[in-house]
């Protein structure tokens, strides 16, 4: 999960986290966000990392056939 946060002048990290993380310990990995970066670049980074995973690929036809088979049951 990627969370965008702000560090104030006193060095305090301000981030809005999902409710299920309240009261939990988390591990942060920090990198500065350049002013010219946008959410599009962040999204591209996520897809690039996802492409590295060994997830089986399916064509549109294979997905539709699987859905039709499930609906037929």
Residue-wise pLDDT tens digits, 37-47 = 566 667 888 88
Where helices occur in the chain by DSSP H, the ranges are 39-52, 60-72
- Indicate the pTM of the whole model: 0.36
The SS3 assignment for 57 reads: coil
Looking at the DSSP bridge assignments, the partners of residue 13 are: 7
- Report how far residue 69's alpha carbon sits from residue 4's, in angstroms, rounded to the nearest whole number: 41
The residue range of the domain holding 53 is 5-72
Higher pLDDT, 30 or 59: 59
Please tell me the total count of domains within the chain. Answer: 1
Structure confidence at residue 62 (pLDDT) = 93
The SS3 assignment for 35 reads: coil
Higher pLDDT, 66 or 51: 66
């Amino acid at each position: 999960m990627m969370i965008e946060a702000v560090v104030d002048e006193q060095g305090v990290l301000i981030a809005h986290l999902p409710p299920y993380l309240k009261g939990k310990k988390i591990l942060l990995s920090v990198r500065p966000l350049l002013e010219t970066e946008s959410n599009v670049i962040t999204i591209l980074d996520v897809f690039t990392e996802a492409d590295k995973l060994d997830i089986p690929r399916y064509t549109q036809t294979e997905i539709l056939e699987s859905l039709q088979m499930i609906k037929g049951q």
